[in-house]
Amino acid sequence: MPVDFQCPSAVKVARTWSVAKPRRLGRLALRGAAAVALAYILTPLLFVTWLAFFRQEIPSFPPEGYSLRWFLAIAGNDRFVAGFLLSLELAVIATGIGLLLGLPAALALARSKLALPELASSMLLLPLIVPGIVLGIALYVFQVEAEIASGLPLLGSLGGLIAGHVLIVIPWTVRLVSASLVGLDRSIEEAAQSLGADRWVTFRRVTLPAIRPGVVAAALFSFVSSFGNLEMSLFLVGPGRTTLPIAIIQYLEWKIDPTIAAVSVLQIALIGAAMLVTDRFVRISRMV
């Protein structure tokens, strides 16, 4: 069959059509996959939120009616209130210490010319990879040994709990600050120095503002990972010291009324609010 070389436009049309069609299909598939994933994430959250407003004590469908009694029940439950306050305190302190340690570490990793950083940065991400239970047991055993060796009351102490939480927030601070340092133009630091700023002033006035999105994102993710941590905390809490996730687990052992759902809704609301506030300063989706 003779090929028609006289009509390149027909070839072109055919080609653009055949390219456009899979491209449009691809985009549809992508959107479909995203929708499925989003539904997968949101469905439990929506159900929990719905459940929190059920009136009856035993969760069953359809609801017998709606009320706010379970939210009021939280306020009357000392364990939840104390757990919330402890988790908040822990998350704030661990985030603060995590930043103080993680920020210089990220700077050192970005600036060091040695071969070490590869290894060091992998090590710093370890707490993220090691399962929480393993981390908890390891820290527990370590604290037992350390207490025997030193005679200091470490086991179940607030300090021990904070140390554990610092450990799990460090990967976030190092990773997110490192990511923002990669895009940093070093010449603005040199410019500051040529204008008379020493290293510290350069860091404070030029480097820090430039990497601020990364630092804010690091603080947010540190806070969230500490606030929601359950497995590791289980091994580190002492008598009379219960974090919110632990309080929830303990409550669930005896009761399944919607109080838990109400607590979860408050937790979701707190983290959601933190993300919204942060998002005003930096686009989180660009950082992670």
Partner 1 sequence: MARLRIDGVSKRYGEVDAIREVTLDVADGEFLVLLGPSGCGKTTTLRVVAGFAEPDAGSVALGGRDITALPPWKRNAGLVFQNYALFPHLTVAENVAFGLEMRKIGAAETARRVGEALQLVRLEHLAQRLPRQLSGGQQQRVALARALVFHPDVLLLDEPLSNLDAKLRQDVRVEIRELQRKLGLTTVMVTHDQEEALTMADRLVVMQDGAVRQVGTQQDLYERPCDRFVASFVGRSTFIEGEIEAPGRFRSRGGLSLACTAAKLGPATLALRPERMLIAAAPPAAVDNNLPGVVEFVSYLGATVDMHVRISARERVVVQIPNRAGDAVPKVGQQVHVAWLAANGIVFAGTASS
What angle (nearest 5°) sits at the alpha carbon of residue 217, between those of residues 83 and 140?
45
* C-alpha distances in Å from residue 97, one per residue of 6, 24, 200, 222: 73, 48, 20, 10
Residue 275 beta carbon to partner 1: minimum distance, rounded to whole angstroms = 23
Nearer residue to partner 1 within complex by CB, 13 or 195: 195
Residue number, 74 or 216, with CB nearest to partner 1: 216
Alpha-carbon span 285 to 213, nearest angstrom = 11
Closest approach, Cβ 95 to partner 1, in A, equals 23
Distance in Å, CB of 222 to partner 1, minimum: 23
Taking the least distance from each CB to partner 1, the nearer of 113 and 129 is 113
Q: Which is nearer to partner 1, 131 or 183 (CB)?
A: 183
Residue 266 CB, nearest approach to partner 1 (Å): 36
Provide the minimum distance between the beta carbon of 197 and partner 1 in the complex, in angstroms, as a whole number.
5
Q: Residue 236: how many CB atoms within 10 A of its CB? A: 24
> 71, 54 in Cβ contact below 8 A?
no
Task: Quote the DSSP letter at residue 227.
Answer: H
CB 28, min distance to partner 1, A? 36
Task: Name the residue nearer to partner 1 (CB basis): 215 or 248.
Answer: 215
Peptide bond into 117 cis (omega under 30): no
CB of residue 273 vs partner 1: minimum separation in angstroms?
26
Q: Which is nearer to partner 1, 6 or 113 (CB)?
A: 113
Q: Residue 281's beta-bridge partner residues?
A: none
- Which residue, 162 or 197, has its beta carbon nearer to partner 1? 197
Q: Which of 266, 256, 249, 254 is nearest to 59 (CA)?
A: 256
Q: How far is the CB of 119 from partner 1 (least distance, A)?
A: 22
Q: Where do contacts with partner 1 occur on this chain (CB under 8 A)?
A: 185, 187-188, 190-198, 201, 205-206, 209-210
Q: Among residues 104 and 209, whose Cβ is nearest to partner 1?
A: 209
Q: What are phi and psi of 54, to 5 degrees?
A: -65, 145
Contacts of 131 (CB under 8 A, 6+ apart): 231
